[in-house]
Structure 1
């Protein structure tokens, strides 16, 4: 079954890494369903049933987004609030439609990885900072998987560096 990659980038046209990842995913339509939230919902008014149906059609779901202000883009938070509803994602006998699905995050990060630890500027690892996502997906009984992160976007945007991320990302997706 194909992997659903939900791309949540508020300005994908100006993106460096996320835009390249989308291009790579689109080269394999037999393996990946690419769903760009900001492109589908420029007014940010989600069609909840359509989003739920899309989730139900896939066993592996990855949320791909840039990490800034120690969080996700606002449309992802809105998606979580509106799509993971009582009676569908949790809380009733008919709920838990996400149960058992493998879910992961794929994050592009501006600074180097070493800055995300106790003795550095940002004090916490990225896994620690994204723990609310882990807890949210565990709450709906999904099989939350370790995240993928590509660091250093602020420091290096060379074509070689960008291209180096692509096979790493695809390997991550294939290993889910």
Structure 2
């Protein structure tokens, strides 16, 4: 199967129209269709019923995949967990010799957070770093032999929802994503 040179960005946001950061990131990604394929799960599956075959075929087409979502209740949106459970099946993502279709793919998380970064530390209010809190994702992707990469995080949306603060996130996110795109170009 021919692989697309673009980065697949799977967006999991239950109410993208009310989003400030994720919605703005999608707008920017859509300006670069030659580099990024934006795949919004909630828009594609408003009924919550995932077409597993379609998702697996889509994932197989890309070497670089980023999962973009808001972090709340110290976790991902439930639809992302459902996607992982439904799509990463035995015999496709792991297991039999025909499995491991995600093996070697560069995978990362891009997370927007309401809380300030300083609150995510052993001595702070929430006791754990974001890297520690997202360890189950790292383990999941390592289990299916993907190349899990460091995550991108933009903190503090609860306190900083001004347009200029949101706009500061865009070049940072794009640089993170462009590093994935450069990796593909060099392969």
The normalised TM-score by structure 1 is 0.99
Determine helix, strand or coil for the equivalent of 1:60: strand
Are 1:59 and 2:42 matched, yes or no? Answer: no
1:129 alignment partner in structure 2: 133
* Cα displacement (A) at 1:175: 1.2
Alignment of 1:15-54 (within 5 A): 15-54=19-58
Alignment partner for residue 158 of structure 1, among 144, 152, 162? 162
Question: Quick one: distance in 1 between partners of 2:174 and 2:111?
Answer: 13
Matched, 1:4 2:13: no
Unaligned runs of 5+ in 1: none
Which residue number in structure 1 is paired with residue 83 of structure 2? 79
Cα RMSD after superposing both structures: 0.4
Aligned length: 176
| 1:174 positional shift | 1.1
- Give the aligned partner of residue 106 of structure 1: 110
Q: CA deviation at 1:114?
A: 0.6
Match of 1:69, SS state, is coil
Tell me, in whole angstroms, the C-alpha distance in 2 between the residues paired with 1:5 and 1:100: 17
What is the alpha-carbon distance in structure 2 between the residues aligned to residue 151 and residue 60 of structure 1?
Answer: 24
Following TM superposition, where does structure 1 have runs of at least 4 consecutive aligned residues deviating by more than 4 angstroms?
Answer: none
**If the length of structure 2 is used for normalisation, what is the TM-score?**
0.94
